[in-house]
Structure 1
Amino acid sequence: MPLEPYLTQIPAEIAAVSDYEAFARARLDDNAWAYVHSGAADEITFRNNRLAFDACGLRNRALVDVRGGHTRLELFGQTLHHPILLAPVAYQRLFHPEGELATVRAAAAMDAAMVVSTLANHTLEDIARQAHSPLWFQLYFQSDREFTLNLVRRAEAAGYQALVVTVDASIAGVRNREQRAGFHLPAGISAVNLQGMPQASLALAQGQSQVFDGLMAHAPTWRDIERLRQLTDLPLLLKGITHPEDAKLALSLGVDGLIVSNHGGRTLDTVPASLHLLPAIAEVVQGQIPLLLDGGIRRGTDIVKALALGASAVLIGRPLIYGLAAAGALGVVHVLRVLWEELEVAMALTGCRTLADIHPDNVLATAP
């Protein structure tokens, strides 16, 4: 079947973020859909990220005066108008011809911070030139550490305001849905920011493991984080922290923030839902540095739940892509607007005038 044309206005039947999924599917081929709408292995973590929010209830409060309320917050010296950030998603031209350039314009329109992927389809400089809201750079360590440092220096020079190192995906997860679809990058779509990088070659001896001795041979370790902390003055966040012991190590190395994330269920299947992992990390951090969360956010009520359990802000990945695939920058703007408005409604009905008013007693661990 031919693909549907991109929307030029948002129809009334798109009332919630989840409504975008069907509109995105109608505009993406099987190859692109397998990439965005897949998880690792049996996709248990992928599903549970969403189910965790459904199983968490909110306590409403009556007769609270919330006049003058707002959703503003400060993160790393930056004033954000709301706690909804656009997560780093690779290869956004798979979903719309303008790719990250559409997303960064949407971020500007909605005063949203955007995290740009190492695997973007536009140069980090071109994206920065169109940015009018906070821009962070997501870093994948490359086998060539000097090339990796050059990416950091480019981000610094282009005006990126924070560095987000993904630490939970040194190798790709086993994504069977992609395998069954024969996923591939179409002609003309590539990780342009990695052009010119020397390619490492590693010959395996007989008996060596393709995973341990091959794919993981140049994987980053805590020593790389320690060195990077010494080499940049940008706020440094680690994305993909799920274990309290890793949170302790990050604190000891002077990391500025953590993102509790299981990579949208795309790397290691059966890792618990991000929302379930958050409280234990918050217990370790004790407010010393900001915690962010991604995975499963589809409603403004989800944001209140995440903040109540210890997050300072949240990131959205698939929702931004569903919006982008349906209607380009317009779709991303609408996704953000819906979530922001729903957040304000949820705050008002739980008696929270500001984000600082959101506390653990606003939630019930299991919905009745």
Structure 2
Amino acid sequence: MGPCFVEGKEQLKKRAVGSVDGTQEPARREKVCQKGNPQLQRKVHAFSDMIKELKYLLLRNWTEKIQKGTNQEQPIQNKDGDVDVSSSNDIVLFQTKDVDHKKSSIQRPNLIVMRGKIIKMENQITNVNEYEAIAKQKLPKMVYDFYASGAEDQWTLKENRDAFSRILFRPRILIDVSKVDMTTRILGFKISMPIMIAPTGMQKLAHPQGECAIARAASAANTIMTLSTMSNYSFEEVASTGPGIRFFQLYMFKDRNLVTQLVRRAERAGFKAVVLTADRPFIGRREADIKNGFRLPPNVTLKNFEGLDFGEKNKAGSSVSQTRRHIDPSLNWKDVKWLQTITSLPIVVKGVLTAEDARIAVQAGVAGIIVSNHGARQLDYVPAPIMVLEEIVKAVEGRIGVFVDGGIRRGTDVYKALALGASSVFIGRAVVFSLAAEGEGGVRKVLKMLRDELQLTMALCGSPSLKHISRHHIFTRFPSNL
């Protein structure tokens, strides 16, 4: 098959509607090819062949088979029974090569029709955002919504992305960028780029290898992976995937003995830091999870809690809601001090959104802070982390590391965060969606995409190394002191 083309909604709809046997196609083809342009002729032939194959697949209920396999709603159909690929909410996958139409097995799709446009999958994926569309198609609705949704009205969820568009570049020219160095040190550990993997719970829902696949991808990219307390693979299982720099994200439980046990296991497994989540005294109102009745399948457990007894009938590893109930809402800065007494690992506090809390964190002696709103999953109508980053960096005055997460989908986003003073960034949903789409290989591709985009952005802005990225390279269209 020839190249895959991207068409607007109306153009695609017009091209897709025609006779089943394709008798109208030769007339269109002949009319366009009269221009005598060989390259245009080849493109027209390729596009015409592709449209005919898509029609055939649609009329043979190919999409119905795919939807049945992924628990998604059926595609929207028009009055003639054809799938309406121009629908803004319609996402359909197609297998466009090596298809045996006599077999009922569903093969791996390599084409996606998304919001009325055709894009090629796999090798043709060109940016991180495209993985979300693929993940949405592959995952059950309950699982996709768990990863993708935010709290209440989801204003902050949207703002996490939109805020980056209000930061513009001031590129410098005539600077030698023949070599661009992205290496950096985080808490003393050298990594290849200022892009790290944030803690995300229950990754086995996205892919059977879950956290282990992500650990291997992070190690291959020479960057840091953070394991969630709510992981589906244990400390020991993740550590067994091979060498790598890994942090452990910790929820503070009411039973401090349990906390001590978790930290000790992380230490023995070779984890290098503890990331204390401080913005979750109670779980935010995530309405998608409420509507879907979110729960773990019986074969997916929280492995770090297996065998531990919270004094209830069921073991902690068998119930997400049960484990959540034991998170301590009384957590305060005194507990941070206590945590420092039970471990020599550096402690990073996650969930800082104000300069006031940043100053207290410095006084508490933590090694770093993560500017974060918990992926917009806790309190709605809080600012995007990128909006308050500069305020927090100024408050810290370089005394501890400042990291940021939330809405990062491009290398340009990473550069903007670094220009505002972040030491490095964390990415979460981008990793999970790529994991759902292509497993470990997808995560590797996402890390490489972001690395390549950051490298290009640095070169085009005149920054041959991270130390050459400064506030002078950007200007913002939002207040720096909210």
Instruction: Name the TM tier (shorter chain).
Output: over 0.9
Instruction: In structure 1, give the amino acid aligned to 2:199.
Output: P
Alignment correspondent of 1:41: 152
CA displacement, residues 281-306 of structure 1 (integer Å, 9 cap, x when unaligned): 10110111111100000000000000
CA displacement, residues 246-299 of structure 1 (integer Å, 9 cap, x when unaligned): 111111111000000000100111110010011111011011111110000000
Alignment correspondent of 1:233: 344
1:108 offset after TM fit, Å? 1.5
> How many angstroms apart in 1 are the aligned matches of 2:299 and 2:225?
24
- The reply on whether 1:130 has 2:130 as its aligned counterpart is no
Alignment correspondent of 2:396: 285
1:231 offset after TM fit, Å? 2.0
Alignment correspondent of 2:198: 87
How do 1:1-368 and structure 2 match up within 5 A? Answer: 1=67, 2-3=69-70, 11-199=122-310, 218-366=329-477
Q: Say if 2:218 and 2:244, in contact at 8 Å, map to a contact too.
A: yes
Change in CA separation of 1:216 and 1:192 when aligned onto 2, cut-off 3 Å:
closer
Q: Say if 1:90 and 1:120, in contact at 8 Å, map to a contact too.
A: yes
Instruction: In structure 1, give the amino acid aligned to 2:308.
Output: M
1:186 offset after TM fit, Å? 1.2
1:199 offset after TM fit, Å? 2.1
> How many angstroms apart in 1 are the aligned matches of 2:128 and 2:109?
15
Q: Which moved more, 1:33-42 or 1:185-194?
A: 185-194
Change in CA separation of 1:221 and 1:57 when aligned onto 2, cut-off 3 Å:
same
> How many angstroms apart in 2 are the aligned matches of 1:131 and 1:366?
44
What runs of 5+ residues in structure 2 fail to find an aligned partner? 1-66, 71-92, 94-106, 111-119, 313-324
Q: Say if 1:17 and 1:299, in contact at 8 Å, map to a contact too.
A: yes
1:74 offset after TM fit, Å? 0.9
With normalisation by structure 2, the TM-score equals 0.71
Alignment correspondent of 2:74: none
Change in CA separation of 1:215 and 1:195 when aligned onto 2, cut-off 3 Å:
closer
> How many angstroms apart in 2 are the aligned matches of 1:246 and 1:231?
23
Change in CA separation of 1:158 and 1:351 when aligned onto 2, cut-off 3 Å:
same
Q: Say if 2:251 and 2:327, in contact at 8 Å, map to a contact too.
A: no
Q: SS where residue 349 of structure 2 aligns?
A: strand
> How many angstroms apart in 2 are the aligned matches of 1:21 and 1:291?
28
Percent identity at matched positions?
39
CA displacement, residues 44-75 of structure 1 (integer Å, 9 cap, x when unaligned): 11110000111111111111112332100011
How many pairs are equivalent?
A: 355
With normalisation by structure 1, the TM-score equals 0.92
Instruction: In structure 2, give the amino acid aligned to 1:162.
Output: A
Instruction: In structure 1, give the amino acid aligned to 2:261.
Output: N
Q: Say if 1:6 and 1:325, in contact at 8 Å, map to a contact too.
A: no
1:131 offset after TM fit, Å? 3.7
> How many angstroms apart in 2 are the aligned matches of 1:223 and 1:149?
16
> How many angstroms apart in 1 are the aligned matches of 2:354 and 2:307?
35
Change in CA separation of 1:235 and 1:215 when aligned onto 2, cut-off 3 Å:
closer
> How many angstroms apart in 1 are the aligned matches of 2:327 and 2:220?
40
Q: Say if 2:253 and 2:328, in contact at 8 Å, map to a contact too.
A: no
1:21 offset after TM fit, Å? 0.8
Larger of the two Rg values belongs to structure: 2
What's the C-alpha RMSD, in Å, of the aligned pairs?
1.9
Change in CA separation of 1:109 and 1:134 when aligned onto 2, cut-off 3 Å:
same
CA displacement, residues 136-159 of structure 1 (integer Å, 9 cap, x when unaligned): 111111121111011111111111
> How many angstroms apart in 2 are the aligned matches of 1:215 and 1:154?
19
1:195 offset after TM fit, Å? 2.4
Q: SS where residue 26 of structure 1 aligns?
A: helix
Q: Say if 2:370 and 2:405, in contact at 8 Å, map to a contact too.
A: yes
Which structure is higher in RCO with an 8 Å CA cutoff and minimum separation 6? 1
Q: Say if 1:141 and 1:219, in contact at 8 Å, map to a contact too.
A: no
> How many angstroms apart in 2 are the aligned matches of 1:259 and 1:216?
20
CA displacement, residues 122-177 of structure 1 (integer Å, 9 cap, x when unaligned): 11111012142211111111121111011111111111111111111121100011
What runs of 5+ residues in structure 1 fail to find an aligned partner? 202-213
Q: Say if 2:175 and 2:462, in contact at 8 Å, map to a contact too.
A: yes
Q: SS where residue 433 of structure 2 aligns?
A: helix
1:185 offset after TM fit, Å? 1.1
Instruction: In structure 1, give the amino acid aligned to 2:397.
Output: Q
> How many angstroms apart in 2 are the aligned matches of 1:268 and 1:296?
16
Instruction: In structure 2, give the amino acid aligned to 1:68.
Output: K
Q: Say if 1:144 and 1:197, in contact at 8 Å, map to a contact too.
A: no
> How many angstroms apart in 1 are the aligned matches of 2:248 and 2:337?
18
> How many angstroms apart in 2 are the aligned matches of 1:230 and 1:156?
14
> How many angstroms apart in 1 are the aligned matches of 2:256 and 2:359?
25
Instruction: In structure 2, give the amino acid aligned to 1:75.
Output: I
Alignment correspondent of 1:207: none
Q: SS where residue 315 of structure 1 aligns?
A: strand
Q: Say if 2:275 and 2:348, in contact at 8 Å, map to a contact too.
A: yes
